[in-house]
A = this chain, B = another copy of it.
Amino acid sequence: MTHTIVGKSITRIDVLDKILGRSKYADDLEFPDVLYAKLLRSKFPHAQIINIDTSKAEKLSGVKAIITAKDVPVNTFGIQFKDQVILASNKVRYLGDPVAAVAAESKELAEDAIELITVKYKELPAVFDSREALKASAPKIHDGGNFAAHRKIRLGTVKKGFQISDEIIEDSFTTQKMEHSHIEPHTGIATVDANGKVTIRSSLSVPFVARAELARVLKLPITKIRIIQPECGGNFGGRNEISLEPYIALLAMKTKQPVKMVWSREEEFIGSTIRHSYFIEYKTGVKKDGRLIAREVKMISDAGAYSSYGESALTKSCILASGPYKIPNVKVDGYLAFTNQPVGGAMRGFGAPQVFAAEETHMDHIANNLGMDTIELRLKNALKTGDQTVTGQILHGVGFTKTILKAAEAARWDKHQLLTEKETNTTKRGMGVACLIYPVGFTEKANPSAAFVKVNSDGTMNVSIGALDVGQGSTTVLAQIAAEELGTSINNISIVTGDTDTDPYDTGPIASRVTYATGNAVRFATAKAKQMLLEVAAESLTVNIDALETKDGVIYVRGAPQKCISIAEAALICQQKGKPVAATASFNPPNALLDPETGQGKPYPTYVFATQIAELEVDTQTGYVKVIKIVAAHDVGKAINPALVRGQIIGGIGFGLGQAMLEKMVLAQGKNLNPNFLDYLLPTSLDMPDVEVLIIEEPEPTGPFGAKGVAEPSNVPTTPAIINAIYDAVGIKINDLPATPEKVLKALREKKG
């Protein structure tokens, strides 16, 4: 099927306003009489609150309101379990746990007021290591203990599998805590109207979920909460749950003035959710010919002080632990442990970056042990169309093998040994490959997307959706889907979003689901609207409706394009008949629950596949690793907008590079020692390698025009590809992320002996 708009690299609709600096972010919004809010956060990782004295702060001139736990109508929240408190009442569980909030006439006054609040704590013994936390002797962080979740995958019989294996390879791996580091910190402004309706301007990724959660916390009907999303300065999972919204809402309700809160960069590190750190152990049994026979994986994820998305992310980790490979016997046990550390939440890759860093370096270990080419090992075990995943889900449209072959070809993997030609006495070259299976969306609970479309009397179309473009370009992609389905120019589509009062429901830009789920909703709603136009056209052209097609703004008879009527004319006729063209539709992947004992089931609606190959150079004198090039072959189903797919992949590679070599939150006794961009290193454009993107398109039957998605997966294989390339270059195996120059140098020295 040929497409007119889908598959074209349309320029991002929002790009001009962004590059001209005209886009308005939450902190750009001005309100008269606005108050500034600040949080008082716990200074201890684990302590009992004996007393909170706000009297001095209240007396400070310009302080308008102070709230503590007693002011919160329902003082619990949490995505999966309501184990988190809005404001701590009897106990703080991490260094950063909010205790009180102040609204004052200036930021400085709010900060001064925070200093004047005295909290009497009784320090409690704390635990910072997730393995320690699971021991019976560990200090209990929650009443139920520190054991937050246990997720299992059971397929075949690993014991038997290992018995019949020729070799058994074992590895252990440690991943770091990471911060999303979106440029725009958490920012929000709350206003309250005379009827008590609370409007919050904040670029949450999940406005509808957050609206319901806020309604519960504030004990208000959902209709009394309105979330308006300004432009969003980056998400990466960091805005997937409520954060500062309850505080500004409560302070605005109390003061009846607009209240703004902007988190400092330090607060982003200590107070926002972070990527969970993992301890992972792999054991795989293989045949001499490379066939994977059995695999046993154990992992412990550090939830931090509260559960947040911890269990969902762990579930994904467990399911993906066998990689994009067919393994008949698998046993995975994932544990989630509470510690007195910052709260782990959703972050790009959601449990996959940790497990693939381990799994794909483990695969290289297996290949090396067998003396096999690592690509050959992957090809031999690769999942194919019709295969079942480790949870028993039958796969359709699997472009995995193609990603391996295309990537290997582009990277000239067969000329691998020629890399030595580029080496010097002090620089060594290496090439590493890593593969990926990654799900789009989820099924464990409903995650619908809806769209509302209106075709105007000139044939242009307004589309309302509830999924904000958080920077990835989704609005452009959805406009392309709408234009393609209607059969008109992209210039005739206008998409609006960012207001829970007017937008149709959407689960939001999480789980790489927007192109797939919101895209389907937009397509279905457009198709319904188109049907109204076709009915009018069929009547006007006196043909059967089935004989009609649309393209370039025209409705015409298939095979006789001169018999036609423009979409504009048809829309005008509908309008003149008093039936303005409008439709709403929604999409939800069918819900499915996994068997809790075996993990069997259909946890995700569809999967993408990828192979990335990194070429790099290691300076053996400094340990500095320069990534030269990354070839990234991604099966996205259908690239609605190839330039945006490319952009996502390049962005993701930067993310993966940070995980591989630079980023790590350094914590000591629960205290973050590098809560800023001077000490927490992010890759810059100068760190970026040359990237060659190869788009593979194995259409997904349930996706819009065959599309699956691309958002999160792009960063996941980058990390192990780099680690594998370092091994290839200098023969050292980094199993504790990130591979900093210090760590590489140390390993080089140890290897030398």
Chain A interface residues (CB < 8 Å from chain B): 13, 16-17, 20, 22, 30, 193-195, 197, 212, 215, 221-224, 445-448, 450, 452, 454, 456-458, 460-462, 464, 491-494, 496, 499-505, 575-580, 582-584, 586, 588-591
Q: Which of A223, A576, A584 has the most CB of B within 10 A?
A: A223
Instruction: Check A222–B501 contact: CB distance below 8 A.
Output: no
Which of B222, B456, B582 is within 8 Å of A460, CB to CB? B222
In the complex, A291→B385 CA distance in Å? 88
10 CB < 8 A contacts A-B: A20-B194, A221-B458, A221-B460, A446-B575, A447-B578, A502-B502, A502-B503, A504-B582, A576-B591, A578-B588
Minimum distance in angstroms from A496 CB to a CB of chain B: 4
Which of B212, B575, B579, B590 is within 8 Å of A456, CB to CB? B212
Minimum distance in angstroms from A583 CB to a CB of chain B: 7
Minimum distance in angstroms from A380 CB to a CB of chain B: 39
Instruction: Check A584–B583 contact: CB distance below 8 A.
Output: yes
Instruction: Check A454–B505 contact: CB distance below 8 A.
Output: yes
Minimum distance in angstroms from A702 CB to a CB of chain B: 14
- CB contacts (< 8 Å) of A591 on chain B: these are 576-578
Instruction: Check B461–A194 contact: CB distance below 8 A.
Output: no
With A212-B456, A222-B458: A580-B445 Cβ-Cβ less than 8 Å: no
- CB contacts (< 8 Å) of A17 on chain B: these are 193-195
- CB contacts (< 8 Å) of A588 on chain B: these are 577-579
Instruction: Check A576–B458 contact: CB distance below 8 A.
Output: no
Minimum distance in angstroms from A121 CB to a CB of chain B: 37
Instruction: Check A461–B13 contact: CB distance below 8 A.
Output: no
In the complex, A221→B492 CA distance in Å? 7
Minimum distance in angstroms from A210 CB to a CB of chain B: 13
With A17-B195, A195-B13, A492-B221: A446-B504 Cβ-Cβ less than 8 Å: no
- CB contacts (< 8 Å) of A447 on chain B: these are 578
- CB contacts (< 8 Å) of A446 on chain B: these are 575-579
In the complex, A503→B580 CA distance in Å? 12
Instruction: Check A582–B584 contact: CB distance below 8 A.
Output: yes
In the complex, A527→B619 CA distance in Å? 71
In the complex, A501→B500 CA distance in Å? 14
Q: For A584, give the chain B residue with the smallest CB separation.
A: B584
Instruction: Check A223–B493 contact: CB distance below 8 A.
Output: yes
In the complex, A589→B578 CA distance in Å? 8
Instruction: Check A221–B491 contact: CB distance below 8 A.
Output: yes
Instruction: Check B576–A457 contact: CB distance below 8 A.
Output: no
Instruction: Check B212–A458 contact: CB distance below 8 A.
Output: yes
Which of B195, B215, B458, B583 is within 8 Å of A215, CB to CB? B458
Q: Which of A16, A17, A448 has the most CB of B within 10 A?
A: A448
Instruction: Check A580–B16 contact: CB distance below 8 A.
Output: no
Instruction: Check B212–A457 contact: CB distance below 8 A.
Output: yes
- CB contacts (< 8 Å) of A194 on chain B: these are 16-17, 20, 22
Q: Which of A445, A494, A499, A500 has the most CB of B within 10 A?
A: A494
Q: For A591, give the chain B residue with the smallest CB separation.
A: B578
Given contacts A446-B578, A578-B590, 15 further A-B contacts (CB under 8 A): A17-B194, A197-B494, A212-B458, A447-B578, A448-B578, A448-B579, A450-B580, A452-B452, A454-B504, A494-B501, A496-B502, A505-B575, A578-B588, A579-B588, A582-B584
Q: Which of A30, A450, A456, A579 has the most CB of B within 10 A?
A: A456
- CB contacts (< 8 Å) of A494 on chain B: these are 197, 223-224, 501
- CB contacts (< 8 Å) of A197 on chain B: these are 494
Instruction: Check B222–A456 contact: CB distance below 8 A.
Output: yes
In the complex, A458→B456 CA distance in Å? 33
Instruction: Check A16–B584 contact: CB distance below 8 A.
Output: no
Q: Which of A17, A580, A586, A591 has the most CB of B within 10 A?
A: A580
In the complex, A589→B577 CA distance in Å? 10
In the complex, A747→B500 CA distance in Å? 63
Q: For A13, give the chain B residue with the smallest CB separation.
A: B195
In the complex, A583→B504 CA distance in Å? 10
In the complex, A197→B475 CA distance in Å? 15
Which of B22, B221, B493, B582 is within 8 Å of A450, CB to CB? B582
Q: Which of A22, A450, A582 has the most CB of B within 10 A?
A: A582
In the complex, A221→B458 CA distance in Å? 7
Q: For A493, give the chain B residue with the smallest CB separation.
A: B223
Instruction: Check A456–B582 contact: CB distance below 8 A.
Output: no
- CB contacts (< 8 Å) of A496 on chain B: these are 501-502
Q: Which of A454, A460, A575 has the most CB of B within 10 A?
A: A454
- CB contacts (< 8 Å) of A221 on chain B: these are 458, 460, 491-492
In the complex, A151→B590 CA distance in Å? 61
In the complex, A458→B195 CA distance in Å? 19
Minimum distance in angstroms from A332 CB to a CB of chain B: 28
Q: Which of A221, A447, A496, A579 has the most CB of B within 10 A?
A: A221
In the complex, A586→B578 CA distance in Å? 8
Which of B462, B504, B575, B578 is within 8 Å of A501, CB to CB? B462
Q: Which 8 pairs, one residue from A and one from B, show the smallest C-beta to C-beta distance?
A: A578-B588, A16-B194, A223-B494, A446-B578, A502-B502, A505-B580, A223-B460, A222-B456
- CB contacts (< 8 Å) of A589 on chain B: these are 578
- CB contacts (< 8 Å) of A500 on chain B: these are 462
Instruction: Check A580–B586 contact: CB distance below 8 A.
Output: yes
- CB contacts (< 8 Å) of A501 on chain B: these are 462, 464, 494, 496
In the complex, A493→B575 CA distance in Å? 29
- CB contacts (< 8 Å) of A222 on chain B: these are 456-458, 460
Q: For A503, give the chain B residue with the smallest CB separation.
A: B502
In the complex, A43→B271 CA distance in Å? 66
Instruction: Check B452–A584 contact: CB distance below 8 A.
Output: yes
- CB contacts (< 8 Å) of A461 on chain B: these are 223
In the complex, A215→B452 CA distance in Å? 22
Q: Which of A500, A584, A586 has the most CB of B within 10 A?
A: A584
Minimum distance in angstroms from A574 CB to a CB of chain B: 9
Minimum distance in angstroms from A573 CB to a CB of chain B: 10
Q: Which of A215, A501, A577, A588 has the most CB of B within 10 A?
A: A501
